[in-house]
Structure 1
């Protein structure tokens, strides 16, 4: 089976076209070598998939006939991705939350709503003073 079709069948990519593009960009390696989308995959091959800043490592156990359901994926592949990779992703997401310093650039939608709420509260107080 072709590598792009295999990755689509075991649900690493949503469409086969996305899997093909990942192969062309060099995000897929089989047994340590970057591959073209037409590369055949066999049981016991080691595949490395670079996706979402994580290097997924998997071993081909069997070749599926068609795309399989999420519960059946483990029959066809063994995921050997280290847990540290997922922890690194969590740290990256946390660091992105604090990326924008307060007072720099345009306000976010939440900042704007807070400003609007504050402004409407102060306008209500001023309107009460005039009565």
Structure 2
């Protein structure tokens, strides 16, 4: 699954466009490597690091969702590994 679509499905981005911009600006890391393309493929077990609202999230993808469902459904698709405040 494309990373922009995954972030939108997981409700970590308000829209696919926002997710694409995050990827193009190089703000997302996939398994520790910086990515700059929204078409980057993500699989189950991958670890994502991304900045969101004054914090940095590190999540592990547990399964790939089929749709953008309600928040509880989206949250069941990933596991939070770390959440740290962003440095000023």
With the length of structure 1 as denominator, give the TM-score of the two structures.
Answer: 0.61
Listed as ranges, the matches of 1:101-116 within 5 Å are none
Structure holding more strand per residue: 2
Q: Could you say which residue in structure 2 is the equivalent of 1:10? A: 10
Q: Which has the larger radius of gyration?
A: 1
Which gives a bigger RCO, structure 1 or 2 (Cα 8 Å, sep 6+)? Answer: 2
* 1:48 partnered with 2:14: no
Aligned to 2:81: 80
Unpaired stretches in structure 1, ≥5 consecutive residues: 93-131
Q: Tell me the distance in 2 between the aligned counterparts of 1:46 and 1:24.
A: 18
Aligned-residue offset at 1:75:
1.8
Secondary structure of 2:42 counterpart: coil
The structure with the greater share of residues assigned to helix is 1
Aligned residues: 87
What do residues 30-73 of structure 1 show as CA deviations (whole Å, max 9, x unaligned)? Answer: 00111211011000000001122311000000001111211112
RMSD: 1.7
Instruction: Please state how far the C-alpha of 1:16 moved relative to its aligned partner.
Output: 0.4
Partner of 2:8, secondary structure, is helix
- Structure 1 CA distance for aligned equivalents of residues 23 and 66 of structure 2: 21
Could you list the runs of 5+ residues in structure 2 that have no partner in the other structure? none
